[in-house]
Structures are given as structure tokens and as C-alpha cells.
Amino acid sequence: MMKMLLFVGVTLVVIGLLGTLYLSRSQPTDGVLEETRLEPVDSLYVSGENVQIDVIASSDNTTRITYSGLSESALREQFSLEQVENHLTISIDASSRWSFFNFGFFTSTPTLTIALPQIELAEIRGKTTNGRLSIKDHAIKTLDFQTNNGRVTLERTHTYDARVKTNNGSITLEDVSGKIHAETSNGSIKAFNLIMDHDISLSTSNGSITATLAKLANTTIDADTRNGSVTLLGNKASQLTYGEGTSLLHLRTHNGSIKVEETH
């Protein structure tokens, strides 16, 4: 009996020590991954697994990359950065941060924040699985954001050609302009203060579309839904034209409503 109790006691002590060692090594931390004062970057490709990715504007000519919610050891294993001339490639995979030692201590989603100088960027491409993608305060010639099981947000962004796609997630556009194609399945699309200087297409399945327009001159609104209602500027109509109607707002949804209003 004494031997059995001693064995159990030693086993518990060993498990406790291993758990403490693991937790001390895997404790999430915040910090700066990279801070450079190189020639301005004008193109970015970023991909991630189980991580939120935010692209924001830098206050100076510095490219800053910061993180939160990942341990230093995980970052060494799961983060990669490569810069070739003015092109920056970043990859991060946070899917392996969970293990049987992790009993729900860490519930926050890891976040990667990329701050780029406020110059006109040639291209930004982002792709995530189980994570958010967002961009704020930038002008980009080509933008391509794709995510599975995550939402996409564009704020105060001008683009010549933007494609945004998500599965099982919502899309939010606020104060954006340029040619935009946004598509989601099993999620809603909300667009605030759209500037209709180019064609914009918004489509979703099993979700609603809500949009407010900052500029109606020379705009055609074409909306269609299956199993839902359409309201365009207070009218129960599926198409409206203002001025010459040269800019097209194309709206499509299945199993959801469509509502368009003018920004006040």
C-alpha cells in the first residue's frame, strides 16, 4: 500500500513539473517581430492558419510587424518572413499551438499586425483559414483577400481592383472606393459610405446585403434575391438608375434580404 501511494505521489509530482515547464515555454507573449527602415515595400503576400491578420498604416516610413497571443518558441517554428527588393512575403501558422497539455488556458486568437508606410501599394494578397483579414487606411492597385471560416474588413481603402472572398464569414466595407468584387457564403455583407466611382459587385448565399451610398450620381443599382426582400432607397424595386448610370452596383443574394440607402 505504501509503495502504491509513493508511486502515485511521484507520478503527480512529475506531471506537475512537466506541466509547469510546458506552460512556461508556451506562455503567449506580445512583441515586435521585425522593425525595418528599408526602401518602402509596395507589395505584400501574407498567409496564416488560425490567426487574425490586420494590415494598417505606419506613421512613418517604417515597416512594423507585431504579434500577440503566441509564445516565442511557437513563433520561431511557425513564422517566416522574406523580403526581395520591394516585395514582402509573410507566413504564420498557429494551428499547432494546441496540445493535450493546453487545458483551455489560452482562449484568445493570435493576431499578426502589419504596419506599412502610407504610399500607393502595387499589390496586397492575403489568405487565411480560421482567421480574420482586415486592412485600413491604404491605397492599393490590386487587392486580393480570401479566407475560410473568417471575416474580412476593409476600412478607408482605395483600390483600382479588389477581390474579396470568404466562406462562413461576413464582409464589411467602410469608406472604400474603386472596382470591388466581394463574395461570401453563409455570411452577410455590410457596406458603409460606398463611393460609386467604379463598378462594385456584392454577392452572398444565406446572408443579407446592406449598403449605404455616399454618391449616387451616374449610378445604376441592380439587385436580385431568392427568398428575400429588396429595398432600394425606400423603394420596393430591383433596379434604379441615377444620371447616366455609368457605375454599376450589382447585388445578389440567396436566402437573404437586400437594402440600399443613401448616406446622410
Give tens-digit pLDDT for 8-21. Answer: 443 443 344 444 43
Please tell me the least confidently modeled range out of 75-79, 213-217, 225-229: 75-79
Same domain, residue pair 188 and 248: yes
pLDDT at 60: 81
pLDDT at 257: 96
Grid cell at residue 108: 484568445
Same domain, residue pair 118 and 196: no
pLDDT at 173: 97
* Nearest partner of 125 among 149, 150, 152, judged by Cα: 152
- 223, part of any domain: yes
* Nearest partner of 222 among 200, 249, 261, judged by Cα: 249
Tens of pLDDT, residue by residue over 97-117, are 543 333 334 446 788 999 998
pLDDT at 30: 53
Q: Are 243 and 217 contacting, i.e. CB atoms less than 8 angstroms apart?
A: yes
Whether residue 125 is predicted with pLDDT greater than 80 in this model: the reply is yes
How does residue 81 score in pLDDT terms, banded at 50, 70 and 90?
confident
What range does the domain containing 213 cover?
170-264
- Most confident segment among 13-22, 32-41, 124-133: 124-133
pLDDT at 32: 54
**HSE (side-chain half, CA atoms, 13 Å) at 215:** 17
Mean pLDDT of 27-35: 51
**C-alpha distances out from residue 196 to 80, 136, 178, 231, Å:** 38, 19, 8, 18
Same domain, residue pair 123 and 179: no
Tens of pLDDT, residue by residue over 141-156, are 999 999 999 999 999 9
Q: Which domain-ending residue is among 87, 107, 133?
A: 133
- 97, part of any domain: yes
Whether residue 83 is predicted with pLDDT greater than 60 in this model: the reply is yes
Domain tally, the chain: 2
Q: Which domain-ending residue is among 133, 157, 181?
A: 133
Please tell me the least confidently modeled range out of 18-22, 133-137, 222-226: 18-22
Q: What is the CA radius of gyration of the chain?
A: 23
* Nearest partner of 21 among 92, 73, 67, 68, judged by Cα: 73
